[in-house]
Amino acid sequence: MTLKLKPTNDLVFKKIFGTEKNIPILQSFVQDMLGFEIEIIKINNPYHIEDFINQESDKLNYTEVDILAETESGQLITIEMQLTNHKNFLERSLFYACKGYIKDYANQSKMANEYKFSSIKDTYSINIINFDLFGFNFPSLLNFEFKERQSNYPLAKTGMQTITLTYFSLKNKNPNNSRVSEWQRFFKGESLQNSSPEYIHSAKKLLDRLHLDKEEQRMAEILSKRQMIRQAEMEYATEQGLERGLEQGREEERSNNIKKLFDNGLSLEQISEFLEIPLDQVRTIVK
């Protein structure tokens, strides 16, 4: 009996979004994540089953990025699928975004002038995650950019090539963006709404009609089983922690969420109103 494979499977995801003929679907997904139009002209690490076979022992456990694409103007787009959280995930995502940012440094074929730094282009790092990274109150799609602290002025407006970090959670809700919600449904293997954009329906048709040969099926099932094992291990560890101190865990989680909201710019009054917690209690936790 073969496993029903979801698009969150690394191999399935790469075969759908990492194939040159499917660039229009990849481009539509990226545009919905970033919130503006962008033209992808090539995939620098296209899907090849040989990559999974030749690096089986390493690749099935760890990979840098799943998709590495480039726009017409040389901007770099990296996409990673991460189903389970782990320590320092945020640092890791920034690390690989920075690696992409400096990848073409001093590349003469991409230099706009005689200066080596002119070859550096904007880098967009999109991370698809199947866990709550910032807190349950945050929307499913978050984009982080370089901005001036007081005025909120984007550094990109100065003409500087910058880095954007995007986190797309399949767990958090995003009621204000129907396209993002439909991408969530797609990646979770759920039925799409009739009103869903045509390109998401096209992605679903590709998934439903996806043909995997014997070797691809074997590799994909290995990936799915390892993903399920990792998820089960995390859930077991969580249950053990809750059994040792359920109430303490709840209080710590609530305190952490309040601190995250405050660190991300919400006032004490806004947090108190949003979470329906007394202002004095919020003030005590933040301090």
User: Is residue 141 within a helix (H) or strand (E), and if so which, with residue range?
Assistant: strand 141-144
Q: What is the pLDDT of residue 59?
A: 46
Q: What is the pLDDT of residue 160?
A: 93
Name the residue with higher pLDDT: 1 or 108.
Answer: 108
Lowest mean pLDDT among 28-42, 73-87, 221-235: 221-235
User: Side by side, which strands form the sheet with 163-169?
Assistant: 40-43, 67-71, 76-82, 123-129, 163-169, 141-144
Cα–Cα distance, 232 to 62 (Å, whole number): 18
Which residues lie below 8 Å from residue 4, measured CB to CB, with a gap of 6+?
189
Instruction: Tell me what pLDDT residue 278 has.
Output: 85
The residues, any chain, with a CB within 8 Å of residue 128's CB and separated by 6 or more, are 8, 79, 80, 81, 82, 168, 170, 187
Q: Are strands 141-144 and 163-169 parallel, antiparallel or unpaired?
A: antiparallel
Query: What confidence score (pLDDT) does residue 250 get?
Result: 61
Whether pLDDT at 264 is above 60: yes
At 65, list the tokens.
């990025």
Residue 249 has pLDDT above 80, yes or no: no
The secondary structure element, H or E, covering residue 142 is strand 141-144
Q: Residue 60: is its pLDDT beyond 60?
A: no
Note the pTM of the prediction, 2 decimals: 0.79
- Answer yes or no: are the C-beta atoms of 219 and 49 closer than 8 Å: yes
**What integer is the mean pLDDT of 2-16?**
88
What tens digit of pLDDT does each residue of 147-199 get? 999 999 999 999 999 999 999 999 998 767 789 999 999 999 999 999 999 99
Residue 145 to residue 159: CA distance in whole angstroms = 14
pLDDT of 177: 74
Tens digits of residue pLDDT in 69-123: 999 999 999 999 999 888 789 999 999 999 999 999 999 999 999 999 999 999 9
Mean pLDDT of the chain: 86
CB 130, CB 138: distance < 8 Å: no
Q: What is the pLDDT of residue 1?
A: 45
Higher-pLDDT residue of 231 and 13 is 13
